[in-house]
């Protein structure tokens, strides 16, 4: 799906989900999607999500709006 979006000219496709849908988030991260920091509380929220997934969080792997 991501390749198709890029192939059709979309340059910034995005997905949305709720913070507690850890399985869906883990799959998206594994597929290469990156957290989007679009509001002031997003870094804290993503740090919490990554901790709950047992993963290391890095601002370098995020996209800023």
Per-residue tens of pLDDT for the chain, all 65 residues: 788 988 999 988 888 999 999 999 999 999 999 999 999 999 999 999 999 999 999 999 999 98
Q: How many CB atoms lie within 10 A of CB 20?
A: 9
* pLDDT at residue 7 in the model: 93
State the pLDDT at residue 62: 96
Q: Distance between CA 63 and CA 33 in Å, rounded?
A: 10
Structural domains counted in the chain = 1
pLDDT of residue 65: 86
Domain span holding position 35: 2-64
pLDDT of residue 3: 86
Beta bridge pairs of residue 37: 64
What is the pairing mode between strands 63-64 and 36-37? Answer: parallel
pTM: 0.85
Q: Are 65 and 36 in contact (CB under 8 A)?
A: yes
């Amino acid at each position: 799906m991501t390749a198709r979006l890029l192939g059709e000219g979309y340059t910034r496709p995005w997905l949305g989900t709720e913070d507690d849908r850890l399985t869906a988030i883990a799959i998206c991260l594994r597929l290469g999607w990156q957290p989007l920091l679009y509001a002031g509380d997003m870094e804290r929220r993503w740090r919490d999500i990554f901790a709950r997934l047992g993963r290391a969080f890095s601002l370098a792997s995020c996209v800023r709006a």
